[in-house]
Amino acid sequence: MNKGKLLLAILLSNMLLSCNSNSNEVVVYTSVDQIFSEPILKDFEKETGIKVKAVFDTEETKSTGVLNRLIAEKDNPQCDLFWSGDPMRAIVLKQKGITSPYRSHVADDINPVFKDPENHWTGFSARARVLIYNKKLLPEKDVPQSIFDLTKEKYKGKVVIANPLFGTTTFHFAALFTLLGDEKAKEFLAALEKNKVVIASSNGDVKKRVVQGEAVCGLTDTDDANEALKERADIGIVFLDQKPLGLGSLIMPNTVCLIKNSHNAENAKRLFDYLISKETEAKLAQSCAQMPLHKGVSVPVNVPSLDNIIPMKIDYEKTAEKLNSIVKILEQFSRYDKK
C-alpha cells in the first residue's frame, strides 16, 4: 500500500471511530404516532443526557415508510433502533438480516409469546384491534359482535376500515389469512367488497368518520378508540369475537429491535431497556390507553386488562411471512371502490 492510500485508510478509520465511539446520541426510526412516541423519547433524553434523533412515519404510510428506509439502508445503516407499533415489521427486518439480537433483563417477566425466541425483538405496551361505533346511529342491540358480522346486509356501505396496505390493518388482515386459510380469507374480503365497506386512509381517518357520523362503525386500534371517546361520549367500543369458540381480538404489542452494525449500539441498548420498562408502559397507558405487558403496572380505569380479553391465537412470525404472499390480494382489494 503506498503512502497516500495508507493515509486515506487511517483518516477513514479515525472518522469511523469518532462516529462510533464518541457519539452521545441515538438514532430512532418509529412507526408509532409522533404525538405518543415523541414525549417518551424526550423523557429519555432528559433522564440520560443522550440526544435522540427520531424519524417518524406519516399516518398514511404507517410502518412502511421507515421499514422500506431501513431495508434500503441495510448495507449502510443510519438508524440504531427501530420502535414499531406491531411485531410484523420487526420480524421482516429480522428475516432480512437487518436486526441484531439483544436480550434485556428488563423483559424477564414479559410473556414469551411477545418476544422473539432468538431475541431479535421484544414486545411491550399492547394495543388491540376493536370496533368503534356511533351510538346515535347504531342501537346497542344492532352492534356487531364478530368481524364476520360486518359482511351482513344491514351494514352495507356503513362500515369503514383503514387501507389494508398500511399499518396495523395490514397486520390484522395477515392474521386473518393465517388463521382462516387463504380461501376463507379471500371469501371474507369478497364479502366485505360486496357489502361496500368504506376504505379510509388510516385508523385515525376511521375514527374521524365514525365520530362525525359518516359511518356507523369501523375497525381501528384501542389508542384511536380511546381518542374517539375523548372527543365524543356517544362512541362505543367492542372487542370482537369474544365467545369461547370465536377468533378473539388481535393483540398487537409495540416492538423494539436493534439495527445490526449501527453507530450507537450501546446507547441503543439503553433506549431499548427504557422503552420496555414498566415506567414507559405506565406512561403509554396514560397517554394512549395501551395495555402493559408487565404485571403490576398502574393504569387508568379506561385501560382494559389483557387478562379479560380473549386474544386471537396467532403465531406472529407466521403472520409476518403470510404478508409477503397476500400483498397483491390486498392491493386489489384496496382499489375495489375506485373501479
The grid coordinates listed for 129 are: 384491534
pLDDT at 12 over 60: no
Q: What is the mean pLDDT of residues 291-312?
A: 91
From first CA to last CA, the distance across the chain in angstroms is: 64
pLDDT at 7 over 80: no
Which of 124-128, 148-152, 226-230 comes out lowest in average pLDDT? 226-230
pLDDT at 17 over 90: no
Q: Can you tell me the distance from the alpha carbon of 143 to that of 141, in angstroms, rounded to the nearest whole number?
A: 6
CATH number belonging to the domain at 3-126+253-304, selected among 3.40.190.10, 3.40.50.300, 3.65.10.10, 2.40.170.20: 3.40.190.10
pLDDT at 320 over 90: no
**pLDDT recorded at residue 58:** 67
**With 0-12 CB in 10 A as exposed, 13-18 as middle and 19+ as buried, what is 231?**
exposed
| Single-letter amino acid code for the residue at 258 | L
Q: Can you tell me the distance from the alpha carbon of 103 to that of 113, in angstroms, rounded to the nearest whole number?
A: 15
> Global pTM?
0.80
Residue pLDDT, tens place only, 21-66: 447 999 999 999 899 999 999 999 999 999 999 999 865 455 468 9
Instruction: Give the confidence band of 339 by pLDDT, cuts at 50, 70, 90.
Output: low
The grid coordinates listed for 225 are: 378508540
Which of 106-120, 241-255, 299-313 comes out lowest in average pLDDT? 299-313
Instruction: Give the confidence band of 20 by pLDDT, cuts at 50, 70, 90.
Output: very low
**pLDDT recorded at residue 74:** 96
| E strand segments, the chain | 25-30, 51-56, 81-84, 99-100, 122-134, 159-162, 198-200, 217-221, 235-238, 251-259
Q: In 3-state terms, the chain is what percent helix, strand and coil (to 5)? A: 50, 20, 35
Residues 6 or more apart whose CB falls under 8 angstroms from that of 301 comprise: none
Angle at 173 between CA 199 and CA 326, to 5 degrees: 100
**What is the CATH number that goes with domain 127-250+320-338?**
3.40.190.10
CA dihedral 117→270→70→73, nearest 10 degrees, is -120
Residue pLDDT, tens place only, 186-238: 999 999 999 999 999 999 999 999 999 999 999 999 989 999 998 888 999 99
For the packed helices 87-95 and 316-334, what is the interaxial angle rounded to 10 degrees?
Answer: 100
Q: Can you tell me the distance from the alpha carbon of 221 to that of 296, in angstroms, rounded to the nearest whole number?
A: 23
Every domain of the chain with CATH number 3.40.190.10 lies at 3-126+253-304, 127-250+320-338
| Single-letter amino acid code for the residue at 147 | I
Is-contact 159 197, C-beta < 8 A?
A: yes
Instruction: Give the confidence band of 307 by pLDDT, cuts at 50, 70, 90.
Output: confident
Instruction: Give the confidence band of 138 by pLDDT, cuts at 50, 70, 90.
Output: very high
For the packed helices 167-180 and 316-334, what is the interaxial angle rounded to 10 degrees?
Answer: 110
Fill in the DSSP letter of residue 214. S
Is-contact 230 177, C-beta < 8 A?
A: no
